[in-house]
Structure 1
Amino acid sequence: MSDLSANAIDPGSTQLFQEAAQASDAVRLQFERTHSAALALGSALRTLKPRAVVTCARGSSDHAATFAKYLIETRTGVLTASAAPSVSSVYGARQDMRDVLFLAISQSGRSPDLVSATAAAKQAGALVVSLVNAEGSPLAEVSDYALPLCAGPETSVAATKSYIASLAAIVHLVAAWAQDDLLMDSLAVAPEQLRRSWDLDWSAAVPKLSAASSLFVVGRGVGLGIAQEAALKLKETSGLHAEAFSSAEVRHGPQALLKENFPALLFSQNDEAKEGVETLASDLAARGVDVMLAGASVEGVTVLPSVAAHPAIQPMLLVQSFYKLANAVAIARGFDPDRPPHLRKVTETL
């Protein structure tokens, strides 16, 4: 733990808290500003009929790309895979990207390897779409379509509202592409649901996470990306060793570590993956694991409240509630969530 006194910081005064609280406004503004562009892009993708989608991102944005993989594959049936930027930026290898949608996601749009990989994909024949918060950034300039996240300035090192805005932009893109009116209508009401999610009380998890030294964060399907994001945020802001797993993958070895004093935080959206997450939560609780569960309800575990919504919208609502929890846990553990050690806002990997 840090030497910072747990009482030294007012939780509501941190940049992380204040910026995360703005997510609902960011999603509302994004929907209003980019709706016409998203519809045009959806039409272009139906004409192109891409043979594959390749995502390219780092850090929190890559967790949004995990969400994109599940949403694109389940809603459009198009194979989606994550790019390794080093293939082009380090090894200089050329790839055949004809009839491929290359989806780059970034808050800053300035990381050299991401820009290099995106430019290489365009040269190789891909249709390049970027979801980027910094309009006019190098990444936006190299793209065929650049959809702004509209999250506004984000000064906290740990991304929050820009991550949620990335999820919303992905939902917007997929809903337009698949002509999914229910999904589009669900996104339109998401800002109010985000506001309600921010107001939920997850304080029951604070003492459990404050005392932990290690943690598993678990999700599945479209919820896996927020499990990855939550694990990263707890590492960054609280010095807590947290690892993310699929609720299926955790059974293939990693669950052997779970025992008393090694808690698990589980996320579930209301879709086909829910039953598996609930079964895992019940099994772990029966073994004495301290389980915290959001998005579902199981006897013998700490249930964290959630707002009911379309299953593709639920992940952004759950992570919104989580961000307030992460801020509180960091302070309780003696950390300043705005100043993670050894980190800075823009990581410019080559």
Structure 2
Amino acid sequence: MVNVEDSPLAAIADTVIPLHAGPERSVAATKSYLAALAAILHLCARWHGDAKLLAALEALPGALRAGWDADWSAMVDGLADAHNLFVVGRGFGFAAALEAALKFKETCGLHAEAFSAAEVKHGPMALVGPHFPVLCFAQDDDTLESTLAVAREFRGRGAQVLVAAPGLVGEGFLPLAAGLPALCTPLLTIQSFYRAASALALRRGFNPDVPPHLNKVTETV
């Protein structure tokens, strides 16, 4: 999967899936990440002949537009002065947690570590106490309750916990659309997260398009 069809990587690949995300002008690639997730969804839906997932793909553009307009200002306000945080997910949500933790570091100058909700209760949990920030990503599948249980336990320790889970609202929850298959949820989560992360970077005095010490192209020898 490539965003630049005439790239050296595409030239040596046996099969090329162009993402058509358009030019990525920011160091922190976002459009191509979302496009790659969407391409994987298409492949899964076609390979499995999953009618529900194929129908969800038709609804996905509208859901992504709604996700962009979702109010995640609680994340911006809550992390404006933070120094460290955990991003927690499980199953499909763990990859979204990894992406969010990377973007916190890249664009906000904020040290973030991503953990699976199944693993964070080992050593890392010792750090979670009063006012420690934790961002949890969940989806409506068999990992939902275990992820919410971790969030509840952290809240019980006095941690500052925000949860993005489909259809769950109220204090401590970030809005996330319900009704689509769980495989779609990471796209909607990251779409809303990206806008909030951009606002957080600006609040903390960073240019999210040009992070310090980073280049668009990384060369290795």
CA distance in 2, matches of 1:222, 1:170: 12
Report the counterpart of residue 71 of structure 2 in structure 1. Answer: 201
CA distance in 2, matches of 1:173, 1:288: 42
- Give runs of aligned pairs for residues 53-202 of structure 1, distance below 5 A: 131-202=1-72
3-state SS of paired residue (1:339): coil
CA distance in 2, matches of 1:190, 1:139: 29
Shift of residue 249, structure 1, vs aligned partner: 0.6
Q: Which moved more, 1:169-178 or 1:318-327?
A: 169-178
Shift of residue 307, structure 1, vs aligned partner: 1.0
Q: RMSD over aligned Cα, in angstroms?
A: 1.3
Q: Which moved more, 1:154-163 or 1:135-144?
A: 135-144
The reply on whether 1:232 has 2:68 as its aligned counterpart is no
Report the counterpart of residue 339 of structure 1 in structure 2. Answer: 210
CA distance in 2, matches of 1:221, 1:147: 25
3-state SS of paired residue (2:193): helix
The reply on whether 1:257 has 2:127 as its aligned counterpart is yes
8 Å Cα contact 1:212/1:261 also seen in 2: no
CA distance in 2, matches of 1:186, 1:143: 30
Bigger Rg over Cα: 1
3-state SS of paired residue (2:183): coil
Report the counterpart of residue 198 of structure 2 in structure 1. Answer: 327
Unaligned runs of 5+ in 1: 1-130
Report the counterpart of residue 93 of structure 2 in structure 1. Answer: 223
CA distance in 2, matches of 1:206, 1:136: 38
- Check 1:349–1:189 CA distance in 2 against 1; reply closer, same or farther (3 A cut): farther
Unaligned runs of 5+ in 2: none
- Check 1:349–1:173 CA distance in 2 against 1; reply closer, same or farther (3 A cut): farther
CA deviations on 1:178-230 (whole Å, 9 max, x unpaired) are 22222122122211100000001100121211111000001000111110000
Q: What TM-score do the two structures reach when normalised by structure 2?
A: 0.95
8 Å Cα contact 2:108/2:208 also seen in 1: yes
3-state SS of paired residue (1:144): coil
Report the counterpart of residue 159 of structure 2 in structure 1. Answer: 289
Report the counterpart of residue 212 of structure 1 in structure 2. Answer: 82
Give, as a single letter, the amino acid of the residue that structure 2 aligns with 1:338: D
Give, as a single letter, the amino acid of the residue that structure 1 aligns with 2:15: Y
Shift of residue 298, structure 1, vs aligned partner: 7.9
CA deviations on 1:89-130 (whole Å, 9 max, x unpaired) are xxxxxxxxxxxxxxxxxxxxxxxxxxxxxxxxxxxxxxxxxx
CA distance in 1, matches of 2:107, 2:130: 24
CA distance in 1, matches of 2:32, 2:81: 29
Report the counterpart of residue 186 of structure 2 in structure 1. Answer: 315
Moved over 4 A (4+): none
8 Å Cα contact 1:282/1:298 also seen in 2: no
Shift of residue 141, structure 1, vs aligned partner: 1.6
- Percent of counterpart pairs with the same letter? 54
The number of residue pairs the alignment matches comes to 219
The partner residue of 1:245 within 111, 115, 129 is 115
Q: What TM-score do the two structures reach when normalised by structure 1?
A: 0.61
Q: Which moved more, 1:288-297 or 1:322-331?
A: 288-297
CA deviations on 1:65-86 (whole Å, 9 max, x unpaired) are xxxxxxxxxxxxxxxxxxxxxx
The partner residue of 1:275 within 141, 145, 148 is 145
3-state SS of paired residue (1:216): strand
8 Å Cα contact 1:171/1:312 also seen in 2: yes
